[in-house]
Amino acid sequence: MAECIFCKIVKGEIPSFKVYEDELVYAFLDIGPINFGHTLVIPKEHHESSATIPEETAGRMFRIGARIGVALKRELDFEAFNLHLADGTAAGQVVMHAHLHVIPRGVEDGFHWNWRQLRYEDGRAADCAEKIAKRLAAAAKQA
């Protein structure tokens, strides 16, 4: 993608504060961090959605993300970290190049996720799980 800001970062056309790089992924500091050290892990190859990232690359993103999270805890004195990937604008994805956020967290960092909690009505959870499992099984047969 010629106009993708993350592709330009990977190519070195836009500067970044690189944390990690290998043949599949590139990790760099977020320019608008939730907490200092907030890092993005991206596939070097352009993918808008996590659904199109090859398994090896996706696995590497999460392995490196976890390693970065541990480094953030140890080197920057954080207590925990979040791994967050938004897939699509409705999920909050702003840059249309798949990316994994590694967000260092402290008990009193003042950042709160605003997650709501719904309750399944009778039988709805089983129906939902069955539909998802059926879709996964069909996709596995096609692969």
Give the HSE-up count for residue 11: Cα atoms under 13 Å, Cβ half-sphere: 12
* Whole-Å CA distances, 141 to 30, 79, 119, 136, 138: 39, 42, 32, 9, 5
- In Å, what is the CA distance from 51 to each residue of 55, 71, 88, 97, 136? 9, 28, 11, 12, 13
One-letter amino acid at 73 equals K
pLDDT number for residue 113: 81
Model pLDDT, residue 115 = 81
Reported as a single tens digit per residue, the pLDDT across 68-127 is 999 999 999 999 999 999 999 999 999 999 999 999 999 999 998 888 889 999 989 999
* Token pair belonging to 36: 């200092």
Mean pLDDT of the residues in the chain: 95
Q: Do 92 and 122 touch, CB atoms closer than 8 A?
A: no
Residue 17: other Cβ atoms inside 10 A: 10
Domain spans, the chain: 5-114
Write the class of the CATH domain 5-114: alpha beta
Active site residues: 99
Spatial separation of the C-alpha atoms in residues 63 and 75, rounded to whole Å: 18
